[in-house]
């Protein structure tokens, strides 16, 4: 660990002193790094749920590989979560190699979903010899392709760029303006640059990844185009399955369509940020920020950078929920309800956090020390209006992930529907329902939820 002092005071200082007007966003980097770690763990957990449900099913294996790749990609800033020393540069370089591998893999996986939800033009992909082997063939092909890129560009430096460690935690001699040269450490082959430490903000440390060849930048923006293509293919597969009476396949294709739509929309806005940065600086390269002297340009650069980083987290989590719902809604008891609850909580926390940061930064710009005021302006209504806000979000999540039941649950619903024909559950009928639930392996909590859901729908129909 670098010499920044105790960790909790260090994090509090970086978060509480964020100031976009001078390009001081270390606190936001820490927040994104933490959210990335949480998102990665969540996606890994969802991937394990999918593979455990049907470990030998080609579709489950395929989706597990996809979510594992996404869980690696959302860790894009893990190395800035802790004040690590320059000795971690080789580890970060290896992590970045796997990150680009996962980027190539995701592009191929997106386009290969038609093997399980075919369109009229891609039915040849449904052959067992193809779809049963995609989960391991695509990773192998991605590794070969990345290896060819590394060889063609003369190594890691030319392909993915280097990694620089900026250290503002050592003893420094500050000038009259409160600035001092930063201690910079580079990975092998990286061109030297300069960095400045600020007296009021020190001590702090962070890593800066450098852009490599044009292919590496292309890999940053290509996933959004492949997701867009996959979005249209899943829409066609959804309509085709529905027309052919394959309702389960239609519902799964619909969920994937929504997942890819969210990916294409949110990530598309981030691609615009990348293009804007490329126009300004010639390339999308985080190492450029140490050489930017124009504060206004630096602020724009940071907005583009954090828009891109947030898009990775948002689309990764959104995909995870929608794809898991598609694969498991008919296999795991109550998985749709649990996913909706988790999705609603994530949306509420995410939007609340973004609004708090925006309000804090806005008020800080008008009133010295006004960040607390901005936090209260947003935080108080969020607490008071928590229930109605959650209701709106829950309705939205239900629209995205409609109620779904396993075969066992559907059998219980049929039995309950018969018992409720006269709107009264007699003692004998209740005994029969309990026996039915025991036979089907349903617990009391799930039974109560199913009956409550059925009764609510029945009341709505009668109204």
pLDDT-based confidence at residue 181 (cuts at 50, 70, 90): confident
- Record the tokens describing residue 110, joined without a space: 């997106």
Q: What is the pLDDT of residue 360?
A: 64
CB proximity list for 365: less than 8 A, separation 6 or greater: 21
The count of other CB atoms within 10 Å of the CB of residue 298 is 19
| Residue boundaries of the structural domains of the chain | 7-332, 407-462
Q: Is the pLDDT of residue 441 over 90?
A: no
**Which one, of 306, 303, 242, 234, lies nearest residue 264 by Cα?**
234
- Record the tokens describing residue 134, joined without a space: 């995609």
**Which one, of 298, 311, 149, lies nearest residue 217 by Cα?**
149
The residue whose two tokens read 């209740």 is: 430
Q: Is the pLDDT of residue 40 over 60?
A: yes
| pLDDT, tens digit (0-9, with 9 covering 90-100), for 361-400 | 565 555 555 555 555 555 566 666 677 777 777 777 878 8
Q: Tell me how far apart the alpha carbons of residues 211 and 400 are, in angstroms, rounded to a whole number.
A: 37
String of b and e for 8-44 (b: at least 16 CB within 10 Å)?
eebbebbbeebebeebbbbbbbbbbbebbeebbebbb
The residue whose two tokens read 């579709």 is: 59
Per the rule left: phi > 0, alpha: psi between -120 and 50, beta: everything else, 439 is alpha
**Which one, of 450, 373, 377, lies nearest residue 416 by Cα?**
450
Q: Are strands 163-167 and 179-181 parallel, antiparallel or unpaired?
A: unpaired
CB proximity list for 325: less than 8 A, separation 6 or greater: 255, 335, 336, 339, 401, 404
Decide: 100 and 216 in contact? Cβ < 8 Å. yes
**Which one, of 207, 272, 200, lies nearest residue 19 by Cα?**
200
Quick one: what percent of the chain has pLDDT higher than 90? 32
Q: Tell me how far apart the alpha carbons of residues 109 and 63 are, in angstroms, rounded to a whole number.
A: 9
Q: Tell me how far apart the alpha carbons of residues 406 and 332 are, in angstroms, rounded to a whole number.
A: 7
CB proximity list for 246: less than 8 A, separation 6 or greater: none
| pLDDT, tens digit (0-9, with 9 covering 90-100), for 216-245 | 667 777 888 899 999 999 999 999 999 998
Q: What is the pLDDT of residue 420?
A: 86
Q: Tell me how far apart the alpha carbons of residues 170 and 85 are, in angstroms, rounded to a whole number.
A: 12
* 243 class by beta-carbon count within 10 Å (0-12 exposed, 13-18 middle, 19+ buried): exposed
Specify which residues 163 forms β-bridges with.
Answer: 209
pLDDT-based confidence at residue 311 (cuts at 50, 70, 90): confident
Q: Is the pLDDT of residue 313 over 80?
A: yes
The region of weakest confidence among 185-194, 249-258, 400-409 is 400-409
DSSP 130-166: HHTTHHHHHHHHHHHHHHHHHHHTTSHHHHH--EEEE
Higher per-residue pLDDT: 337 or 152: 152
| Topology of the domain covering 7-332 | Rhopdopsin 7-helix transmembrane proteins (1.20.1070)
Q: Tell me how far apart the alpha carbons of residues 440 and 422 are, in angstroms, rounded to a whole number.
A: 24
| pLDDT, tens digit (0-9, with 9 covering 90-100), for 128-149 | 999 999 999 999 999 999 999 8
Q: Tell me how far apart the alpha carbons of residues 60 and 41 are, in angstroms, rounded to a whole number.
A: 19
Q: Give me the numbers of helices (H) and strands (E) for the chain, helices first please.
A: 16, 5
Q: What is the pLDDT of residue 13?
A: 87
Decide: 394 and 348 in contact? Cβ < 8 Å. no
Q: Tell me how far apart the alpha carbons of residues 172 and 386 are, in angstroms, rounded to a whole number.
A: 48
DSSP secondary-structure letter at 333?
A: T
Peptide bond into 203 cis (omega under 30): yes
DSSP 13-46: HHHHT-BGGGTB-HHHHHHHHHHHHHHHHHHHHH
Q: How many residues does the chain have?
A: 463
Q: What is the pLDDT of residue 73?
A: 92
Decide: 2 and 84 in contact? Cβ < 8 Å. yes
């Amino acid at each position: 660990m670098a010499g920044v002092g105790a960790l909790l005071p260090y994090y509090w200082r970086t978060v509480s002193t964020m100031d976009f007007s001078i390009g001081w966003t270390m606190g936001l980097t820490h927040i994104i790094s933490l959210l990335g770690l949480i998102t990665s763990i969540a996606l890994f957990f969802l991937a394990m749920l999918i593979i455990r449900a049907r470990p030998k099913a080609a579709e489950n294996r395929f989706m597990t590989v996809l979510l594992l790749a996404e869980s690696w990609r959302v860790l894009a800033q893990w190395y800035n979560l802790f004040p690590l020393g320059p000795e971690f540069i080789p580890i970060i370089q290896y992590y970045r190699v796997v990150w680009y591998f996962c980027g190539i893999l995701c592009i191929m996986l997106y386009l290969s979903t038609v093997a399980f939800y075919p369109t009229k033009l891609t039915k040849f992909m449904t052959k067992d010899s193809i779809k049963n082997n995609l989960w391991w063939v695509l990773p192998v092909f991605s590794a070969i392709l990345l290896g060819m890129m590394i060889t063609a560009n003369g190594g890691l430096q030319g392909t993915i760029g280097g990694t620089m460690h900026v250290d503002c935690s050592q003893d420094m001699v500050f000038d009259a303006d409160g600035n001092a040269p930063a201690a910079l450490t580079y990975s092998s082959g990286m061109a030297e640059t300069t960095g400045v430490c600020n007296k009021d903000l020190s001590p702090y440390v962070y890593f800066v990844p450098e852009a490599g060849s044009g292919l590496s930048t292309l890999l940053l923006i290509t996933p959004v185009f492949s997701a867009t293509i996959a979005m249209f293919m899943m829409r066609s597969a959804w309509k085709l399955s529905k027309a052919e009476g394959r309702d389960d396949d239609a519902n799964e294709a619909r969920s994937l369509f929504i997942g890819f739509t969210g990916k294409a929309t949110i990530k598309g806005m981030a691609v615009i940020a990348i293009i804007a940065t490329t126009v300004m600086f010639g390339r999308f390269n985080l190492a450029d920020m140490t050489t930017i002297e124009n504060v206004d340009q630096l602020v724009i650069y940071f907005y583009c950078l954090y828009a891109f980083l947030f898009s990775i987290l948002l689309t990764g989590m959104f995909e995870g929920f929608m794809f898991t719902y598609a694969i498991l809604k008919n296999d795991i008891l109550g998985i749709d309800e649990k996913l909706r609850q988790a999705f609603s909580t994530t949306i509420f926390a995410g939007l609340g956090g973004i609004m708090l940061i925006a309000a804090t930064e806005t008020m800080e710009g008008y009133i010295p020390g006004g960040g607390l005021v901005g936090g209260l302006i947003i935080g108080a209504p969020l607490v008071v209006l928590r229930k109605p806000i959650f209701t709106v979000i829950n309705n939205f999540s239900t629209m995205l992930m409609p109620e779904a039941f396993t075969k066992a649950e559907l059998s219980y619903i049929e039995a309950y529907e018969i018992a409720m024909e006269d709107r009264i559950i007699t003692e004998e009928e209740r005994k029969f329902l309990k026996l039915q639930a025991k036979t089907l392996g349903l617990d009391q909590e799930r039974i109560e939820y199913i009956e409550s859901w059925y009764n609510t729908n029945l009341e709505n129909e009668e109204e």
